[in-house]
Amino acid sequence: MVNLRADVAVIGLGAFGSAALWRLQERGGRVLGLELHDVGHESGSSHGLTRLFRVACLEHPGLPALARRTLDLWRGLARQDGVPLVRQTGCLTLGAPGSRPVRGALAAAEAAGLSMRQLEPAALRRQFPQFAGVGRRDVGVWDPEAGLCYPERAVCASVAEARRLGAEVRTRTEVLAVEPDAGGVTLHTSAGEVRAGKAVLATGAGLPALVPELPLVPRPTPLTWFRAADPASDAFTLPRFPAFVWERPDGDHLWGHGSDAQGGHDVKVGVAGLVDDTPFPWQPDDGRLAAAARRLAPRIATAFPGLVPHPVRTDPCVVTDSPDGQFLLGPLPHAPNLLVAGGDTGHGFKHAAGVGELLAQYVHGEEPYCDAGFTDPARFTG
């Protein structure tokens, strides 16, 4: 028996789903959001106070358009309730001239018409002495539109706006199975059946469980915070230690940003590939978090001798990898009423509102605001 009907159902209200709910409800109709936990929870990919916001996205030259649309939409949302969702402090990408981060950031900047400041090795070492072991030829690329964004705030603000516009939201509701057909989509949930004209599946690490043919792999990735060894020094505060991405000469790929007393957060540093492919979800006390922190400490000591190398806080989080590192956004070729939004591969938050807008355009058959063909799920399922 069908308990609920909707024109569009959005399943999963994390980064992508909360934004899709808002952008869809902006266009009207009966829009329903279903979420396994509460809105703004800490059990998925969209928690941990901050994320890097970059426009010169090294991952693909098509991404700056999504980041910029996100910036516009979030600014509009922030104007309404006065809480900023992005802080543009700039971002430094460091590495050898031919390294993937440096090459990628420059290619994206060129595609976006973004003027980047390039820092030569001597200037880099002088201006940012916190980064130890910068290679003799390493350069820095400065993205002036970048900075930080705030995941819990953005998710809650998007859902609140969707609700204000008339969306219905059911939390603590698990979608157990999804059945698309020619006329719509039937959702089997822990609270009964839902029938929708179209559905947007944005369940993050839970996406492969509902659509097993998608080649997505959830990868536990901890969030780790640190403190300066000298508490009196301001060397690791946000103005002096901005958002950064760094490919070190030893091949380590680090990212992070400085502390901000106003924002209530310590220095954050993460390293790619810290946790082996272990099953998700992980439990906070299952030992893997502590093991990850232990593996991180020597790398922090080498890269940032000015930090105490042991994290002051370590929280579980997860990224969902796609084979080519790009998102999967849009209808499934064999089920056009079912759209997916996932495969974030660890760089999705800064694009959330732009992704939500794109999904709403796909649902309503509008001309997309940018060419996001590189995210078409058909590249894997078609």
Ligand X SMILES: Cc1cc2nc3c(=O)[nH]c(=O)nc-3n(C[C@H](O)[C@H](O)[C@H](O)COP(=O)(O)OP(=O)(O)OC[C@H]3O[C@@H](n4cnc5c(N)ncnc54)[C@H](O)[C@@H]3O)c2cc1C
Residues lying near ligand X in the complex (CB under 6 A) are found at 11-17, 34-37, 44-46, 51-52, 174-175, 202-204, 206, 221, 223, 270, 317-319, 342, 344, 346-350
Q: How far is the CB of 96 from ligand X (least distance, A)?
A: 22
Alpha carbons 354 and 369: distance in angstroms, whole number:
9
3-state DSSP of 314-330: EECCEEEECCCCCCEEE
Q: Which is nearer to ligand X, 131 or 255 (CB)?
A: 255
Least Å from the CB of residue 109 to ligand X: 17
CB 290, min distance to ligand X, A: 16
Q: Using the minimum distance from each CB to ligand X, give the nearer residue, 107 or 156.
A: 156
Closest CB to ligand X among residues 130, 173:
173
- DSSP element (H, E) containing 156: helix 151-165
Would you say 315 and 293 are in contact if contact means Cβ atoms under 8 Å apart?
Answer: no
Give min distance, CB of 122 to ligand X, in A: 28
C-alpha dist (Å) from residue 111 to 65, 95, 102, 150, 166 = 9, 20, 14, 26, 38
Nearest position to ligand X, beta carbon: 14
Q: Which is nearer to ligand X, 123 or 312 (CB)?
A: 312
Q: How far apart are CA 325 and CA 17, in angstroms?
A: 19
Measured from the CB of residue 286, what is the shortest distance to ligand X in angstroms?
Answer: 17
Peptide bond into 222 cis (omega under 30): no
The Cα-based distances of 76 to 73, 79, 123, 161, 262 in angstroms read: 5, 5, 37, 11, 22
Listed in sequence order, the DSSP H helices in 229-377 are 288-303, 352-364
Between 116 and 269, name the residue whose CB sits nearer to ligand X: 269
* 3-state class (DSSP) for residue 258: coil
CB of 72 vs ligand X, minimal distance in Å: 16
Nearest Cα neighbor of 37 from 121, 118, 155, 132 is: 155
CB of 141: closest distance to ligand X in angstroms?
A: 16
Residue 117 CB partners (closer than 8 Å, separation 6+): 141, 142, 144
By C-beta, is 64 or 346 nearer to ligand X? 346
Distances (CA, A) of 109 to 61, 115, 118, 119: 8, 7, 12, 15
Residue with Cβ nearer ligand X (99 or 221):
221
d(CA 362, CA 9): 14
Minimum CB distance to ligand X, residue 147 (Å)? 11
